[in-house]
Amino acid sequence: MLQTLTFSGPRLINAAASFFRYESGSAGGADESIRVRADGADLGLYFPGDAIELPQACSTWEISPTSGACAGIVRLGVGRVQSARLVGNVRVIDAERDKVAAGVCFRAAPSATGNAPVCQIYNPAASGRNLFIMSARGGALAADSWGVRVTTTQHATIASAGPNLSVVSAAAPVALVRTDATAAAVAAPRFYASGYMQANQDAGVEFRRPLMIPPGFGIDFYINAPSNTLRANFEWEEWPA
């Protein structure tokens, strides 16, 4: 018989079983490992997806999460039952939720008006973090060509810092969101994306793999036409450098 059980903090389970599997767990971005003991014998630390099959059944199982915030699901029984598809789906959902709960995800929506307006996300040299850009999109009042380029120069005007995506009261990011118009040309720019946008329609790029911006660098979302208004949207994560 296979049992599916939940835990939230330490739990003692009285059940005869020779097979144990840590099905899924979440600790809000903290350590998700649990220590498992069977009939008093220490079986070590387990992470979601880990399993063990013993040569004989044990009657008591102790679960001790490393983090007090950890909660999850375990399976015990005689015989092996495994579903990689289910665990894979749960882990993808949990991973995204945990990142948001950890306060590393941000979004900002700056705007700029003038000749060749530009919106920028910039990582200060002393930030101590790397930025991972997930998407950069924008729209303009008039049809225009657009591009996303690398820069090492901060633009003139500070826009909003950008809200944290976890809760509305969370701390602001280290990234600076800036805007400019008639900005000086970037010497030998490196382009990550470019295209053409219709009036009042969004365009931009969703990166298949996050674009890492180390301290001292930034990216510009810009358009070229004179007397235009650009509204941009950046989404990113911040992790220790």
| 51, 16: one domain | yes
Q: How many domains does the chain have?
A: 2
Phi, psi of 70 (to 5 degrees): -80, 135
Q: Last residue of some domain: 76, 101, 126?
A: 101
Q: Are residues 80 and 128 in the same domain?
A: no
Asked if 179 and 63 sit in the same domain, the reply is no
7 and 83 part of one domain: yes
Gap between the Cα atoms of 99 and 160, Å rounded:
22
pLDDT of residue 140: 94
Domain boundary pick from 101, 128, 156: 101
Q: Examine the domain organization and report whether 146 and 34 are in the same domain.
A: no
Sign of the alpha-carbon torsion through 169, 121, 240, 237? positive
Query: Does 60 lie in the same domain as 35?
Result: yes
State what percent of residues in the chain have pLDDT above 90: 46
For residues 12 and 88, membership in a common domain is answered with: yes
Q: Which of 28-32, 84-88, 150-154, 226-230 has the lowest mean pLDDT?
A: 84-88
Same domain, 114 and 87: no
Check whether residue 89 and residue 122 sit in a common domain.
Answer: no
The 3-class secondary structure across 19-87, one letter per residue, is EEEEEEEECCCCCCCEEEEECCEEEEEECCCCEEEEEEEEEEEEEEECCCCCEEEEEEECCCCCCHHHH
CATH number at 88 reads 2.60.120
Domain that residue 77 falls in:
2-101
User: Cα separation of 199 and 182, whole Å?
Assistant: 20
Q: 112 and 35 in contact (C-beta within 8 Å)?
A: no
Tell me, yes or no, whether 214 and 131 share the same domain. Answer: yes
Same-domain pairing of 124 and 137:
yes
Report pLDDT digits (tens) over 132-184. 999 999 999 999 999 999 999 899 888 765 555 544 555 678 899 999 998 77
Verify that 118 and 236 share a domain, yes or no.
Answer: yes
Whether residue 76 contacts residue 2, with contact meaning beta carbons closer than 8 Å, is answered with yes
Q: Please state the pTM of the whole predicted model.
A: 0.60
- Summarize pLDDT for 83-123 with one digit per residue, the tens: 554 444 455 555 666 666 667 788 888 899 999 999 999 99
Measured at the alpha carbon of residue 239, what is the angle toward residues 234 and 240, in degrees to the nearest 5? 140
Residue where a domain stops, chosen among 80, 101, 122: 101
